[in-house]
Structure 1
Amino acid sequence: MIIKQPFYFAPANEDRTLHIYLPDDYGKTDERYPVMYMFDGHNLFYDSDATYGKSWGMKDFLDSWDKKIIIVGAECSHTGNNRLVEYCPYHWDSFVGAIDGTGDETMQWLVNSVKPYIDTTFRTWPHREATGIGGSSMGGLMSLYAAIRYNGIYSKAACLSSAISFCGKELRQAIDDCPIDPDTKVYLSWGTMESRSARGKAIMAACNKSMNDRLYAKGAQLYMYRQVRGRHCEADWEKQVPLFMNFLWR
């Protein structure tokens, strides 16, 4: 079951849609469920909702998966470069100009507004061990940031094709500064076809390995995946759904 719930996004003073997946047996039992919060929620379940007409197909996967979980996908802004701003926790001299990211405000909204709403509205397990986060591209960056800066809330993070090359120094410093619980699980991936140049491919590999090694040194559990011929698109992220879900939730 997918519920589409408008929810007030205070940083932009507007509503954003939460795309909420509930297990098919939700209305038939008194069971409680773990929760995974995800970015770009419109791209998760239905092709008809997805920005480019192709979703991750997560509903089909979850309907047949042997574990039961609630997914909360927060829709991004579709106006101008707002998504880049809201999904960036740092300053970025980007390809569209300088961006002063408000990603931490977005995280505060997820932690202090969305999560309490979900935990009081649905039958969840609210504790850290039953709470994960995930996303791709800028959403992957935000998921990695959340696993580091908000490690007391999120024990698991799926970070696909994460936009981390411009802020590697800041992320490494954050890993050094923040306590990382040894039960933390982080899935890091990138595709070999995401860049056309050899230099770009090398940078992606080096950035992900750097995050992997830094987190491993802090005791976290890592799954680093290089997707051969993987592109920066929903179709190739869909192929990774079984990989990161089984790693994070088993």
Structure 2
Amino acid sequence: MKKMLLFLAVCSLFSSCDLAGKHELKTLKSAVVKNAVLSSGKLIRIDSFPSKYITPRPVDVWLPENYSSEKKYAVLYMHDGQMLFDSTATWNKQEWMIDEVATSLMTQKITKDFIVVGVHNIAEIRWQDLFPEKVVNFLSEEDKSTLKNISGKPNAIEKLFGDEYLKFIVSELKPYIDATYAVYDDKENTFIAGSSMGGLMSMYAISEYPDIFQGAACLSTHWVGALPRENNPYPNAIFKYMEANIPASKNHKIYFDHGDKTLDQYYPKYGSKVDAIFTKNGYSVANYRNLFFPGANHSEKSWQSRIHIPLTFLLKK
């Protein structure tokens, strides 16, 4: 009898903790960004999303016009959240115009209805957060000793946070979004997208968590890994990681693209290698794209001009 009472007490404790955790998630302090310049919808911000994995940072949630708790929405997670919605608040006065593009696609009933969750970057550690951490396992010991970040500064392997960044999204942010908003929580309605290092991280996310993400959009994917250089070990290591971890083709969609100007000039030569990896693993035009946009450069303006293509590909009704 005592053992039974002890068992029930423990169960009650864990149940209470679980309920408390859910309550805490729902009561995170958030507010509508009243000064955001949007074409439609509403932007809600958690100024400092708590995390035991990564440095806390703002997270934006964009809800479409006429968002209703009476229906359910798919969820698109995006990196570099501060660059998505309002050019008046960005460092280069450019933006993805996600609110405009998403509104147009949903109004025309081209895509499922969806919300967008934008995780802000922290400039000083963006590279450490977005580098696919397990790619390091495919580098030689000599290459590991010379690991450098996107600015060319030495960066010790133990200071990479890519795995922790994904744990934050999957085990801290997603549960909050699922508990707070009227969204589907299944893989078929969960997507991730980003550009440059965010493109690499989106590829990494769907590879590491194929049961969480159904599709990934990787624009101007930074195949060079860090600063472009001769005898660069990063691309081969990235491709070896992909070959070993590519998600099953039968129930995933993956989109890549690139231009050929500014930083994008370093990407075209890798296109055939990427195609070969995915084709070998059963991907076809039904669930895979790798598009080339001649003349496109490495900027939010370029990504804005074509983001409707991957969103249509991934979220088409």
Q: Deviations over 1:66-106 (max 9, x none)?
A: 3311110100103x3x1111111235424422333211110
- Look up the equivalent residue of 1:242 and give its one-letter code: H
Q: Is residue 2:128 matched to residue 1:85?
A: yes
Q: Is residue 2:83 matched to residue 1:17?
A: no
- What TM-score does the superposition give when structure 1 sets the normalisation length? 0.89
TM superposition shift of 1:208: 3.4
Q: Is residue 2:177 matched to residue 1:114?
A: no
Counterpart in the other structure of 1:104? 163
Aligned counterparts of 1:179 and 1:204: Cα–Cα separation in 2: 20
Q: Which runs of structure 2 are paired with 1:104-183 in the superposition (5 Å)? A: 104-166=163-225, 167-178=234-245, 180-182=247-249, 183=251
Q: Which runs of structure 2 are paired with 1:1-250 in the superposition (5 Å)? A: 1-6=42-47, 7-13=49-55, 15-27=56-68, 30-65=70-105, 66=109, 67=111, 68-78=113-123, 80=124, 82-90=125-133, 91=136, 92-94=147-149, 95-99=151-155, 100=157, 101-166=160-225, 167-178=234-245, 180-182=247-249, 183-195=251-263, 201=265, 203-220=266-283, 221-250=287-316
- Look up the equivalent residue of 2:268 and give its one-letter code: A
Asked if the contact 1:140–1:160 (Cα under 8 Å) also holds between the matched residues in 2, the reply is: yes
Q: Deviations over 1:145-196 (max 9, x none)?
A: 112222221111110111122333333333333362222111111111134x
- CA 1:126–1:244 in 2, change beyond 3 Å: closer, same or farther? same
SS of corresponding position for 1:70: strand
The share of aligned pairs that are identical, in percent, is: 25
Aligned counterparts of 1:86 and 1:181: Cα–Cα separation in 2: 25
Q: CA RMSD in A?
A: 1.9
Aligned counterparts of 1:45 and 1:227: Cα–Cα separation in 2: 23
Aligned residues: 241
Gaps of 5+ in 2: 1-41, 137-146, 226-233
Asked if the contact 1:180–1:219 (Cα under 8 Å) also holds between the matched residues in 2, the reply is: no
- Look up the equivalent residue of 2:175 and give its one-letter code: P
Aligned counterparts of 1:12 and 1:54: Cα–Cα separation in 2: 27
Aligned counterparts of 2:152 and 2:51: Cα–Cα separation in 1: 24
Asked if the contact 2:79–2:118 (Cα under 8 Å) also holds between the matched residues in 1, the reply is: yes
Q: Which has the higher helix share?
A: 2
TM superposition shift of 1:226: 1.0
SS of corresponding position for 1:229: coil
- What TM-score does the superposition give when structure 2 sets the normalisation length? 0.71
Aligned counterparts of 1:71 and 1:103: Cα–Cα separation in 2: 21
SS of corresponding position for 2:254: strand
Q: Which has the higher strand share?
A: 1
